[in-house]
Structure 1
């Protein structure tokens, strides 16, 4: 895989990362199956469904599967995300999700990069900014506040802090915890935050977060966070990094050697109160 062939990387992504529950499963999170789908609740603001493929389902049988997920989470009063990939079959799956009331959100690009070359880069933030790993709930609350500042809106980000806290607690005491969270901060404020999930039994670490305050952007902070997490992955023996990249981060990641392999679009159903 040294040539970073997109087809080979996409196959590794499908086989190693898709339809996997969190390991270990945090307290309060439940995982069950409905046919080809893995259904997870309690990890995020609502629930979500994931799958490697749909086992050839089409037509009415596929519509019934979609509606069951909608109704299951509506019965709990929760929204649900169906994560659609650009290479998923059948081709009319987006139309069937729309017909069931799911609404598409912003599309992202799945990119994969080699740990070795990324870890060879020193994580050098700009002057006055230091990188530090999260130590407790106060740091998670600061991440929630950062999210609210960057993205605005009514969402205060508390669900994110709660979810990360549950993941950290699930990995506490393990020799190799599956989650590490890294802050970029000055003496006065939190500038950015990002985390890496190490996926057991695979070659992958997956990168998340990275939102940066507007007045600190284009100064190398995101690149420094990528390099820092790549070094963590290298120390643990992982060889690949995967990111669901926004249109803002994708060009940076491609310049660092990440390869686009597919796209992903959240289709979200929100029940009527």
Structure 2
């Protein structure tokens, strides 16, 4: 079992690169920043680190990134992904000053894939399977929109269908009961690294606490092992963090998205 410092180092070294954004349309470099363009007018800002920048340097980086995205009317939403362990003096103030709004922080969970494999009994009548048909993907996204309340169901459906068409190893998983999707999530092997990511874990409130999410996570972990991955990572809400911790994953840091939306600036 690796300790938290070595897991964090692996996360920083292997994932904070082009591996983090496999579906990018374009990437522009601005000093240490990677300014990423995605489909449907989405922008994303990430970096390995800020290179020891002081508050004045960081203010200039935020200004430059803001100008890059807001100057192009095609961009309607931009996320700046922060990590709690980065040295980033003045970053919060600079982002807020440019219209970026912080959302809820999540835990960065990292650990060995094998720690998530377990023999979990599903409740009677619940089954697990992978999906790839447009109808099933739309059903899954509608379910996640209900659970998370901030997911754009149609946009997410189209994004996942485009991703499936790439055949890059991403897989979508659901648990069903009586024809209803009760839990869902996806697995994303990260090319060129030891990692796979587990994302989008959602369970309807009435079905929580029954072991279904643990079973879905175990199934995804087995698929990751079959793909040759040894490490797993996830940005976890407070719903999934305790489950992943109980399975042996470690909270190595936090991540907080700061989001700029064009419609808010126009109002």
Aligned to 1:83: 81
Q: Determine the structure 2 residue equivalent to 1:139.
A: 136
Distance in 1 (alpha carbons) for counterparts of 2:96 and 2:12: 24
The answer to whether the 8 Å contact 2:23/2:38 transfers is no
Q: Is the CA contact (8 Å cut-off) linking 1:108 and 1:245 kept in structure 2? A: yes
Aligned-residue Cα RMSD (Å) equals: 1.9
The number of residue pairs the alignment matches comes to 262
Q: Matched residues in 2 for 1:84 and 1:107: separation?
A: 9
Q: Tell me, in whole angstroms, the C-alpha distance in 1 between the residues paired with 2:203 and 2:90.
A: 37
CA distance in 1 between counterparts of 2:224 and 2:145 reads 29
Asked if the contact 2:59/2:90 (under 8 Å) is kept, the reply is no
Q: Which moved more, 1:129-138 or 1:222-231?
A: 129-138
Pick from 224, 236, 249 the counterpart of residue 240 of structure 2: 249
Partner SS, residue 225 of structure 1: helix
User: Quick one: distance in 2 between partners of 1:23 and 1:99?
Assistant: 26
- Pick closer, same or farther for the CA change 1:23–1:178 going to 2, 3 Å: farther
Residue equivalent to 1:53: 49
Deviations 1:6-34 (A, max 9, x none): 111101000001132567547xx333322
For residues 211 and 45 of structure 1, the distance between their equivalents in structure 2, rounded to whole angstroms, comes to: 25
Report the 3-state secondary structure (helix = DSSP H, G, I; strand = E; otherwise coil) of the residue aligned with 2:218. helix
**Map of 1:38 onto structure 2:** 34
1:115 and 2:113 correspond? yes
Q: 2:184 aligns with which of 179, 188, 193?
A: 193
Q: Which consecutive residues of structure 1, in runs of 5 or more, have no partner in the other structure? A: 172-176
Which is worse superposed, 86-95 or 230-239? Answer: 86-95
Counterpart in the other structure of 1:174: none
Q: Which moved more, 1:65-74 or 1:252-261?
A: 65-74
Q: Whole-Å Cα distance in 2 between the matches of residues 245 and 8 of structure 1? A: 20
Runs of 4+ aligned residues of structure 1 deviating over 6 Å after TM superposition are: none
Q: Where does 1:156-167 land on structure 2 (aligned, <5 Å)?
A: 156-167=152-163
Q: Partners in 2 of 1:45 and 1:124 — Cα distance?
A: 42
TM-score relative to the length of structure 2 = 0.91
Aligned pairs for 1:1-273 within 5 A = 2=1, 4-21=2-19, 25=23, 29-43=25-39, 46-74=42-70, 75-76=72-73, 77-119=75-117, 121-152=118-149, 156-171=152-167, 177-271=168-262, 272-273=265-266
TM-score relative to the length of structure 1: 0.89
Call closer, same or farther: CA 1:44–1:53 in 2, change over 3 Å.
Answer: farther
* Deviates further, 132-141 or 71-80: 71-80
Q: Could you list the runs of 5+ residues in structure 2 that have no partner in the other structure?
A: none
